[in-house]
Structure 1
Amino acid sequence: MRICLLAEGAYPYVTGGVSSWIQSLMTQMPEHEFIIFSISAKDHQGAVKYPAPSNLLEVRDIQLGTFLTDKIIPGKRYTISEEEKEAFLSVIGGGKETNWPLLFDLIVSDRIDSILNFLASKDFFDIVQTLCRERFVHVPFTDMFWAIRSMVLPLFLCIDQKMPEADLYHSVSTGYAGVLGALGKHQYNKPFLLTEHGIYTREREEEIIKASWIKGYFKDIWIDYFYNLSNCAYEYADEVTSLFERSREIQVEIGCAREKTSVIPNGIDVNRFKPENRSRKLGIHIGAVVRVVPIKDIKTMLQSFALVQEALPSAQFYMIGPYDEDEEYYSECLELVESLHLKNIVFTGEANVMDYLSFLDVLVLSSISEGQPLVILEGLAMGIPYVTTDVGSCSELIMGPNDAFGLAGSVVPVMHFHRLAKEIIALARNENLRLVYGENGRKRVQELYTLPLMVNRYESRYERWGQAVWQESVFN
């Protein structure tokens, strides 16, 4: 079977949980062929982070930033119908259900010569003018025009790219990748499987609410827009999987049909992790395996480390992971380290995580949003207790999904650095508790979160939907 995997800003250019998940899926299913459709905001300039498996046929990139230098011819008129204009309008807040088939067919046809030209056309001007007249009469037209253009440009550029033909489309999020999965199904009448590692719409909503560059009256438009994209993916998907039960319930709340949903937890190769090879170092060593980006809330972690340092002056801190994804945020973190007078801290950048799991005493995660973090599974597999914020499935991993293994660490509210510090200090001062928690976590991962379990579950989905397509072709 040939499978097209669709991902935003991830594989093979960015390390992290989703990229590792994609790599594991391909390497564990050598009988299938894969095409990666990778959507990113900028040109990664060939900085590939993962070796290509032999069954990876192609990585097809949509680097959205590269289109911004294309020449634009403004003021054109296109032969589009009122129904097609209504479909455009509904995507950006027209208050009606979007006619996605009509929109897909229009954008991929040869009737629009350039997305950039269309967004500078008289037709698009009319669409924005209608939106202002019907819903936002008090908003300056110029502000609305440029805001809407920046909103829909990435989406329309994605749809405008030629979709590779495959036997099954598998998107690893909603958003743009989810809409492309819907487009693949629409164009080729092949099954579409959607896997959400985190709830995309909720993550975008949090970012939009906090964003200073989006004016107040535009925030609702942006939020509705991303919910609209998710509903497109939910509508077209044959099956929608999540990583844990609460995530599944949120999908249903947002608008996904319950009968389409199922849960497939993440899994890791537990044979790679050997707690018996760990070697203690003198003192207390506290680490975080994390990308230095805002959603991981590194600043809260640093504030907690400052309190830990007051209680345990000799404690060592390690931030293990890349810091070049958001250079401005990384600079802000370094400034915070200095202002907090935080010592004994190392930002490792890209590193061999296993080198650090071999001696760390406590692991920490302070994210404001997560799905089911692979880094927690890996840390627990090495017998290291975790202190984490209560996001995604973190509490389930630490406390157990109604199993008998016991606690594997502590869970605290988001952004509560005092609570985070308190739990880190408690573990740092109690070696026996660390050993008990670490063993509990190791047993939980070995029983419930293994790579073979995860792969078998996805393999069954591929076979099910592939068989359904075969039967349809035979009987029709």
Structure 2
Amino acid sequence: MRIGLLTEGGYPYVSGEAGLWCDRLVRGLEHHEFDVYALSRSEREEDGGWVPLPPQVGRVRTAPLWETVDDGIVHGRRARRRFAECYGELATALCAAAPGDPARSSEARSSEARSSEGEPEGQSALEADRFASALYGLAELARDEGGLPTALRSETAVRALERACRAPGAHRSAREARVPDLLAVAARLERALRPLSLDWYEDDDLGSVDLCHAASGGTGALPGLLARHFCDVPLLVTEYGVRLRTHYLTEPDSSPAIRSLLAAFHGRLAAETYRRAAVITPGNTHTRRWQERCGADRAKLRTVHPGMDAAPFAEAGESPECADPQTLVWVGRVEPAKDLVSLLHAFAEVRRAEPGSRLRIVGAPFGPEGVAYLAHCKGLAAQLFPDEADGPHAVGRNPVSFEETGGPELPSRADAYASGALVVLSSVVEGFPTGLVEAMFCGRATVSTDVGAVVEAIGGTGLVVPPRNPRALAEACVALLRDPERRERLGAAARARALELFTVEQNITAFHGIYLEILSRAPVRRVVLDGAGEPLPFGVPAEAHVPGRWSDATARAAARGGPGAVRTGPGWATGGGPVRATTAVSAAEGASR
């Protein structure tokens, strides 16, 4: 089987998100072939190079989303008219008010209610069809003309957005958009729609794979949508975090008009991706609920938990004795979302109840914001415990220490978990709690805040408290510090649960079965022969191997290309090159970069 793996800001880049998961999947399915189609987010990411690629990766094609591209294409009058029509329809779909919004007239609301029957709230069938028609219309125009980046940044695009925002029935936030807002939205849409202009969607390229597997939703899944549209390639979408939710969390400082229009775009794109996907695999129930809210069909959903390597934590898990039964451990990336401030206030109460307790905060800051946050937390620790240590950096008598792995005392994350009796998570925002699962592999009891997929991950093997509640966090920690037998029971149950649900092996087995399921239902698009002229596996339907006149007649028809022959993708021709000279290399060349 030949898989087209689609990534955005991830595999095969060294610093990419979800790169480790994708690498484990590719290496675990060594009997399949993989072609990687990667969208990069930054120049720094590209300069960092790739991870070593296994031999089953046959081709890697990359394209940037971060640089401004001047394609040099001059569109004729007909192409400009097609672009204005399609982009205008796209903008209209984004500006339409949601059902029940007071900005809509009563007639519009009643019409939308009729058209959206059976659709998720905020996503009418009319607007979904309008968005899809506009999206594929732009894709076909990009294919005919050789690219659209300049057009997507043009005055025509900005004016189309302005007309849609000022049209009757537009959402109230959209009507308030000013020129700077429109320019910002047009620029963001151009970047998100850049995959439309790539030259990947031919029968000898992405159209030749048996299955497209998108490692994320949003822009990263857009090449899979286009491969399905142009070449009828089935699409599998895996999400361990929903891009629409990420947009809500990362746009707090934008104007209401920008937030509204971009949220509408991401919501419409997510709904279209879920509608066209053959199977959707959320990584947890928290993500699954978001997908259902965005319109995903429950019949397509298969929850596949992330696969993690349990081997580095085996020694700690098999020897659950802790170095210090009075020590609490926090391990992770230092940033505001982890809410270490609440953890420090909670530990102050723990310290009053258990004077011999200690807190080890193990992790490095993430970005400039993380550096500033770490400094703030160290200052807060000095204020909360002024008479117990020489300073926030001290390790001796100081009940709070800030450390990083890699040193002589904590050479690895497993050593960090093993150094304490209890692992604490205090986040206010969390997707899948990787750190908690690592602690579970180590056989440690945990106290966590109820965010993201925490409850789903730990089940009944740890204590869960509300976020931003230092007193509840402190009470749970004290309860477990005072009950070593309960800690031991919870730790053993946590390790058993992690080994059952969250290993690399279960992840790979699940995806292998899903691949076979999709291919068994997918229509055969071509007859594929090996060097000896024999059909390759999955190249012909299983019933064609059954002896008899029917199968012989079908095979002869396929060979002639007449009635009964399998259908291939449409024979399109491009009018120019891609957005940018994309990269196509072998696995060996990629590994040497």
TM class, shorter-length: 0.7 to 0.9
Displacement of 1:192: 0.5
1:365 counterpart residue number = 425
Distance in 1, Cα, partners of 2:322 & 2:193? 54
2:586 counterpart residue number = none
Distance in 2, Cα, partners of 1:80 & 1:111? 16
Are 1:129 and 2:162 an aligned pair?
A: yes
Distance in 2, Cα, partners of 1:438 & 1:8? 36
Any unmatched runs of 5+ in structure 1?
401-406
Are 1:328 and 2:369 an aligned pair?
A: yes
1:260 counterpart residue number = 300
Q: Is the 8 A contact 2:5 2:35 kept in 1?
A: yes
Are 1:292 and 2:319 an aligned pair?
A: no
Displacement of 1:459: 0.1
* Counterpart code for 2:449: T
Deviations 1:308-350 (A, max 9, x none): 4565565141333x534x3223322322321342743334278
Deviations 1:48-71 (A, max 9, x none): 585433323455444433337x69
1:261/1:356 Cα in 2 relative to 1: closer, same or farther (>3 Å)? same
Query: Which one has the largest radius of gyration?
Result: 2
Q: Is the 8 A contact 1:289 1:375 kept in 2?
A: yes
Deviations 1:397-424 (A, max 9, x none): 32x3xxxxxx321112233333333323
1:157/1:91 Cα in 2 relative to 1: closer, same or farther (>3 Å)? farther
Q: Is the 8 A contact 1:76 1:121 kept in 2?
A: no
1:219 counterpart residue number = 259
2:490 counterpart residue number = 437
Distance in 2, Cα, partners of 1:427 & 1:309? 14
* Counterpart code for 1:395: V
Q: Is the 8 A contact 2:329 2:419 kept in 1?
A: no
Distance in 2, Cα, partners of 1:15 & 1:347? 23
1:431/1:40 Cα in 2 relative to 1: closer, same or farther (>3 Å)? farther
Measured on the aligned residues, the alpha-carbon RMSD in Å equals 3.4
Any unmatched runs of 5+ in structure 2?
98-126, 385-391, 393-399, 527-539, 541-563, 567-593
- Comparing 421-430 and 122-131, the one that deviates more: 421-430
* Counterpart code for 2:371: Y
1:466 counterpart residue number = 519
Deviations 1:11-58 (A, max 9, x none): 344679833322221121111222333444322254358543332345
1:72/1:430 Cα in 2 relative to 1: closer, same or farther (>3 Å)? farther
* Counterpart code for 1:387: V
2:454 counterpart residue number = 394
1:409-420 to structure 2, matched below 5 A, reads 409-420=462-473
Are 1:41 and 2:97 an aligned pair?
A: no
Q: Is the 8 A contact 2:6 2:215 kept in 1?
A: yes
**Count of matched residue pairs:** 461
**Could you tell me the TM-score, scaled by structure 2's length?**
0.69
Ranked by relative contact order (alpha carbons within 8 Å, sequence separation 6 or more), the top structure is 2
Q: Secondary structure at the match of 2:212?
A: strand
1:243 counterpart residue number = 283
Deviations 1:345-374 (A, max 9, x none): 334278732332343322233334444333
Q: Is the 8 A contact 1:72 1:120 kept in 2?
A: no
2:245 counterpart residue number = 202
Identity %: 24
Q: 2:271 aligns with which of 231, 249, 254?
A: 231
1:123/1:291 Cα in 2 relative to 1: closer, same or farther (>3 Å)? same
Distance in 2, Cα, partners of 1:366 & 1:12? 32
Q: Secondary structure at the match of 1:34?
A: strand
2:30 counterpart residue number = 30
Q: Is the 8 A contact 1:168 1:193 kept in 2?
A: yes
Displacement of 1:443: 1.7
1:290/1:144 Cα in 2 relative to 1: closer, same or farther (>3 Å)? same
Q: Secondary structure at the match of 1:262?
A: coil
Q: 1:339 aligns with which of 377, 380, 393?
A: 380
Q: Is the 8 A contact 1:6 1:172 kept in 2?
A: yes
1:53-452 to structure 2, matched below 5 A, reads 53-67=54-68, 79-81=80-82, 83-90=85-92, 92-94=94-96, 96-97=127-128, 98=131, 99=133, 100-110=135-145, 112=147, 115=149, 117-134=150-167, 135=170, 139=176, 141-163=178-200, 165=206, 166-208=209-251, 211-212=252-253, 214-245=254-285, 247-272=287-312, 273-274=314-315, 275-277=317-319, 280-282=322-324, 284-305=326-347, 307-308=349-350, 312=355, 315-320=358-363, 322-324=364-366, 326-341=367-382, 343=392, 344-348=400-404, 352-398=412-458, 400=459, 407-452=460-505
